[in-house]
């Protein structure tokens, strides 16, 4: 499902126009992004939680040349599915 598909689905289920629905969805995603960039955790009960994980520096390999390269430490977004979502996905 793409963001456009999500907008269409939500617009069908509400009395909002596609433009209004798109604004709402962009605001939600923007809020999640802002919170994560500030180091906050975002928890959506029953769905899951987003947080930032720190990855350590490591040695990697360039797949094209085979040369060893240093991969620097970095922060990456991480999503952990909630109990309800995990059980729904496992059921399928």
Successive 10-residue mean pLDDT values, the chain, 92 residues: 94 93 96 95 95 96 94 96 90 64
Domain boundaries, the chain: 1-40, 52-92
In the chain, where do the E strands start and end? Answer: 42-44, 48-55, 58-61, 68-71, 74-81
Residue 92, pLDDT score: 58
pTM of the model: 0.79
CA 15 to the chain's CA centroid: 27
Residue 46, pLDDT score: 87
What is the maximum span of the chain, computed from C-alpha positions, in angstroms? 57
């Amino acid at each position: 499902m793409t963001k456009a598909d999500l907008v269409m689905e939500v617009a069908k289920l509400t009395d909002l126009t596609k433009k209004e629905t798109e604004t709402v969805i962009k605001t939600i995603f923007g809020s999640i992004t802002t919170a994560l960039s500030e180091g906050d955790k975002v928890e959506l009960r029953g769905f899951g939680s987003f947080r930032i994980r720190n990855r350590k520096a490591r040695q990697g390999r360039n797949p094209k040349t085979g040369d060893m390269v240093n991969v620097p430490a970095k922060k990456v977004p991480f999503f952990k599915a909630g109990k309800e979502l995990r059980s729904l996905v496992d059921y399928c």
